[in-house]
Each structure stands twice: as structure tokens, then as C-alpha cells.
Copies of this chain bind each other. A is one copy, B any other.
Amino acid sequence: MEFKDIVMQRYATKKFDGRTIPDATIDELVDLVRFAPSAINLQPWKIRIITDQALKAELRPAAHDQEQITSCSHLLVFFADTDYEGLIGNVDALMQRQGIPDETREQVIGMAREYASRMSPEQRFTWSQAQTYLSAGNAFNGAKALGFDSCPMSGFDQAAFSRILRTPAHLVPVILCPVGYAADRPMKKMRFSRDAILV
């Protein structure tokens, strides 16, 4: 499937048909997310994948009671990870495992530490959230590429999601990606013209 067709055929699916996506296909979707780019390769994102119907039902009121939360096959909750010390430590360990020369590794890690040291907690969250949206984009496009559908959902009660999912404070849920097979039809795509977005 051409990328242009993915972009044009992807749409915010409001209703799924109840069929289950095979776990192996969800693994492929997660791999598409994993290989998204991020600044200094920090990969400041985590994902919780929810299939339990009771848990979906518990979360649904915190997402404006929208039915795609319960009718989806898998609900992917994307968290922005704000624990930069942990992330930098993990990148350091990853580079060691991959046999990156010490000099290169130390240069990258030093740059990451210096970058992180200049950021306030708010800036860390903002920055992690932005990178996480970049990775979530691969999930929305990836779902269509893999033959199913998704719905980007930014508007939900983040505090309620954190409480219900019992996630640690350094993980902030920032965008939802319910996936499944669409039981509705796309509306016509409406976008600003090329001229309107070029400045």
C-alpha cells in the first residue's frame, strides 16, 4: 500500500465491528511505533495495550464515553515518559549492548544529560509528549498499512486514566489509539489548502 493511500484512507474510526486483531499483528504495529524517530534517540514513550473488556468499560467514561474505547479490538494508551535519568540510562545500556564505541557513546550520553539538565519539569513533559505524538503517528498510519483502522484521541481525562491504570507519576497518558476493524464509513477529509498552511 502506497504511503499516500495510507494517509488518505486513514480516518478517525468511531465504531469497530468487534473482531479481534491477531496478537502477532499488534506486535508488528508496536514495532512500527518503536522505530519512530526521537531527539537524541531517547524514545520517551511507553504503551499500555488493553484488551480486557471490563477495563475498557471502566476507562470509557474518562474518554467522553466514546464507544470506540469499548468496541475496539485493542486500546493502545500512549504515555509520555518524563523520567529522563531512566531514559538516558536505558539508551546508555542499549548503546553498550550494541557495541557502540565508548567515545561515541559517552559523547551522546553527555549531550543528552546536558540537554536534560537545562529543562524544567514542564519542558520535559512537553518535549516527551511531542516525541510521543511522533511515534503515535506511526500507529495511526501503521494500522491502515496493516489492514485495520484506528482513532486518534487526544481529549480524555488524563488523571482518571493514570488512576485507573495505576501508572507511575513519570508516565503521563497523552494520546489514545483504539484499533480494530471499522464498522463505520469515513467522512470526507477536510483540510486547509496548501497555501493556507505555508507561511
Task: Please give, as numbers and ranges, the residues of chain B lying within 8 Å of A36 by CB-CB distance.
Answer: 7, 137
A196 interface residue (CB < 8 Å to B): yes
**Contact status B198-A94, CB under 8 Å:** no
**Contact status B49-A37, CB under 8 Å:** no
**In the complex the two chains form, what is the Cα distance from A100 to B188 in whole Å?**
10
- Number of copies of this protein chain within its complex: 2
The majority secondary structure among interface residues of chain A is helix
Task: Please give, as numbers and ranges, the residues of chain B lying within 8 Å of A145 by CB-CB distance.
Answer: 2-4
CB distance from A170 to the nearest CB of B (A): 11
Task: Please give, as numbers and ranges, the residues of chain B lying within 8 Å of A133 by CB-CB distance.
Answer: 130-131, 133-134, 137
Q: Which of A12, A129, A198, A199 has the most CB of B within 10 A?
A: A199
Interface residues on A, range: 35 or more
Nearest to A43 among chain B residues (CB) is B192
**Contact status B191-A35, CB under 8 Å:** yes
**In the complex the two chains form, what is the Cα distance from A43 to B136 in whole Å?**
16
A46 interface residue (CB < 8 Å to B): yes
**Contact status A191-B39, CB under 8 Å:** no
Task: Please give, as numbers and ranges, the residues of chain B lying within 8 Å of A160 by CB-CB distance.
Answer: none
**In the complex the two chains form, what is the Cα distance from A7 to B137 in whole Å?**
11
**In the complex the two chains form, what is the Cα distance from A47 to B43 in whole Å?**
25
A41 interface residue (CB < 8 Å to B): yes
Nearest to A194 among chain B residues (CB) is B30
- Contacts from A to B (Cβ < 8 Å): 1-4, 6-8, 10, 12, 27-28, 30-37, 39-41, 43, 45-49, 79, 90, 94-95, 98, 100, 115, 122, 125-127, 129-134, 136-138, 140-142, 145, 152, 154-155, 167, 171, 174-175, 188-192, 194, 196-199
